A and B are shown apart, each in its own frame.
Chain A
Amino acid sequence: MRLIVPLKNREEIALLKSMGVSGLLLETDRFTRASTVSFTLAQCEELIALIHQEKMEAYIAFNTLIHETDLSELNKWLISLGKAGADALVAFDLTVAIVAQTLGFHKKVIYQPGTFNTHSRISFSLQSLDLKGITLSRELSLDEIKTISLANPELPLSLQGHGFIELFVSRRKLITNHYRHNPKSTRSSGPFWLQEEQRPDEKYPIMEDQFGTQIFRPKKLASFSVFSQLDPWIKDWFISRLFLNDVEFYAAITAYVLHEYDQFLDIYASEYDEGTMYQKIGVKKLVNQ
């Protein structure tokens, strides 16, 4: 399994290489929501070259929904990134794969919609798009992941396996709207959490950026107990670094690379769980978390 992690700056490339990371995810200032660091197109082009010098792969995060007014800019970005040799375009919106195909890209797009890749036949329907892979949805059980993998031996599968996982994405600016509705409140720069009345022990991180509002699962996802089981089925393992400090982020990478899970959990166990992911979820209430 290859670890794919977001890059903070050029100085970090060699360090992450030495830690055993295979691919670096570049978040952009134009097509990435909830980013840790935002790179311009020119910076992405430059970083791709540096990443390749270290014999690593450069992935680009496209996790916004593409609106009509984004299409020409998307086209421009893809042409430039194609020329720069980007190894993968990680797409929340299928539009990225469609535009990439019109530009003649071959196996460049990893379709990562968050919720839609839920069954073993999805790849057959997306075959015409010549994808590099698909990221399985966050609400699957282990058995379902295995079934999908066995049915799709040709298509590389990936998972968002560690860190804060998104639960909700809105175009609306809900924090701005909150302060607009409560003008006497003083807006702070955050971070912010939501606490639901009936679940006082859980705090859901919420953040707003130019694209809207995102809400995340209350605890960070750790997948140590299933990582080895998933190894034969999953090619790319995405680690999120949103809201993680560098020490914790590097510790997580080390834990997965060296299978030193206990050392990580000795420090961070209270902030993590395996939560919803990997549990069977139906239409009826099965688990009261």
Chain B
Amino acid sequence: MKPELLAPAGDLDKVRLAYHYGADSVYIGGKTLSLRARASQFDLKLIQEATQVAHEKNKKLYVTVNVVPHDEDLELLDEYLSALGKIGVDALICSDPYVIDQALKLTAVPIHLSTQFSPTNSALIDFWLQRGVQRVVLARELTLAEMRLIRQHTKMECEVFIHGGMCVSYSGRCTLSNRMTGRDANRGGCAHSCRWKYRLIRSDDTPPEDFWMASKDLETIRFIPDLVDLGIASFKIEGRMKSHMYIAAIVKAYRALIDDLFTHSLRPFSVYEAIIQKAENRHRFSGFVEGNPDDSGQIFTDKKDLPIQNFVGIVRDTIPEKHQAWVETRNAFSPGDDYEVFSPSNEQQSLRIIDMTSEDGTKLSLSNHPLEKVLIQSDILLSPYDIIRKVVK
């Protein structure tokens, strides 16, 4: 069975973008009871809108309700779950047993057990299956061999993370942030203390040494055929806080790979990795699939990854008969440079900008205000959600 490609989205525009680039389903976090609640724009009205967008496209929308709640968080739980049920979202991703019980009681929405609960074996998974949970998001600490065994021993639908950031601790079991900053990691306050710089001190007289524990990000391009063979139902991409460019590129790469695999036209893995490389600037590794990671799965520096500057804009609207398009800018943008277009349908296509004007009709030689809307005239036809990248020589 062809697995679902499940993408993250931090706002409604990214929901649309993820579907446009090939996601089968999108997961979002609401303003309530989600680990990304602080940064979320998704109130119930927007969740409803996102669900409509999904269903119009015959796709699915999932909502995370995955905090480890305290009593004060539960006051509005029933009301919130009932509202999500009425909206008709396609699944709720939960980790707390009481939240799961209430969701099962108050809604007809399928429940997915979050990876926050660290599902690592079939006995635990079957317990949740009997309770009515329909899918489990496997712990990121599982090897391919362990996933295979689990699949042999349970009938539960399994979802795995295939790409994105990783906790170095077992998910849900870390309170470094609580202790160091007073922010509750399991209620969306994680300060990413594991990414800070430490010194390792020993009991002998040896001088302290720099110590790092941050994980590289997960990338599993080369293991997708294995995961398909295991019968994994859903391939999940992490990153609800990530950019348009990131979501577009990662979804596009895995979409292409999965589709090629199922049409027996698989290309060299480097082709799909090259698509990812257009948006990724973080160090990556294959996670636990081949075993417990050694130092090659960690980052040993606090040097920040430089943001990729070559994502210059996203097409919002077009006037095809004039070869014109409205572009929302992200980085400095001027007609003289070389550009390429990134879209769901093409590998990459070079683009020449003939003319650029501002919203008030002023001719521009440079746009350097992020989120500015400019009208460009180009040598090729563009479509909404095409992404314009500067060619870096």
What is the interface of chain A, defined by CB distance below 8 A to chain B? 65-71, 93-95, 98-99, 102, 113-116, 118-122, 124-126, 137-140, 144, 147-148, 167-178, 180-182, 185-186, 188, 190-199, 203, 206, 212-213, 215, 217, 275-276, 279, 281-289
A-B contact pairs, 20 of them (CB 8 A): A66-B123, A93-B118, A95-B123, A98-B124, A114-B173, A118-B68, A118-B186, A119-B73, A121-B71, A167-B176, A167-B178, A168-B173, A169-B174, A170-B168, A170-B213, A178-B200, A279-B182, A282-B183, A283-B184, A283-B188
Could you say which residues of chain B place their CB within 8 Å of the CB of A199? 180
Could you say which residues of chain A place their CB within 8 Å of the CB of B127? 94, 98
Per-position binary interface string of chain B over residues 287-313, scored 1 when its CB falls under 8 Å from any chain A CB and 0 otherwise: 010001111011010000000000000
Could you say which residues of chain A place their CB within 8 Å of the CB of B295? 177-178, 180-181
Nearest chain A residue, comparing its CB with the CB of B131: A128
Q: Is B98 within 8 A of A121, CB to CB?
A: yes
Nearest chain A residue, comparing its CB with the CB of B172: A115
Q: Is A195 within 8 A of B208, CB to CB?
A: yes
Q: How far is the CB of B75 from chain A (nearest CB, A)?
A: 11
A284 to B203, CA, bound (A): 35
A191 to B203, CA, bound (A): 6
Q: Is B294 within 8 A of A283, CB to CB?
A: no
Q: Is A283 within 8 A of B179, CB to CB?
A: no
Interface: B96 (CB within 8 A): yes
Stretch at the interface among B55-63, B191-199, B318-326, B350-358: B191-199
Could you say which residues of chain A place their CB within 8 Å of the CB of B124? 66, 93-95, 98
Q: Is A197 within 8 A of B178, CB to CB?
A: no
**Contact pick for B146, options A69, A170, A172, A206, CB 8 Å:** A69
Nearest chain B residue, comparing its CB with the CB of A193: B201
Nearest chain A residue, comparing its CB with the CB of B126: A98
Q: Is B201 within 8 A of A168, CB to CB?
A: no
What is the interface of chain B, defined by CB distance below 8 A to chain A? 37-38, 68-71, 73-74, 96-98, 100-101, 117-118, 120-124, 127, 139, 141-142, 146, 149-150, 153, 168-170, 172-176, 178-184, 186-189, 191, 193-194, 196-204, 206, 208-209, 211-213, 215, 288, 292-295, 297-298, 300
Nearest chain A residue, comparing its CB with the CB of B99: A125
Q: How far is the CB of B384 from chain A (nearest CB, A)?
A: 36
Nearest chain A residue, comparing its CB with the CB of B151: A68
Q: Is B184 within 8 A of A169, CB to CB?
A: no
Nearest chain A residue, comparing its CB with the CB of B213: A174
Q: Is A276 within 8 A of B178, CB to CB?
A: yes
Q: How far is the CB of A149 from chain B (nearest CB, A)?
A: 12
Could you say which residues of chain A place their CB within 8 Å of the CB of B199? 194-195, 197
A192 to B204, CA, bound (A): 10
A131 to B122, CA, bound (A): 20
Q: Is A65 within 8 A of B120, CB to CB?
A: yes
Could you say which residues of chain A place their CB within 8 Å of the CB of B297? 172, 177
Known A174-B168, A194-B211, A282-B187; further 10 A-B contacts with Cβ < 8 A: A65-B139, A95-B120, A124-B101, A125-B101, A139-B178, A168-B173, A177-B293, A193-B200, A194-B200, A284-B189
Nearest chain B residue, comparing its CB with the CB of A74: B123
Q: Is B298 within 8 A of A68, CB to CB?
A: no
**Contact pick for A287, options B100, B121, B182, B293, CB 8 Å:** B182
Q: Is B70 within 8 A of A203, CB to CB?
A: no
A173 to B142, CA, bound (A): 15
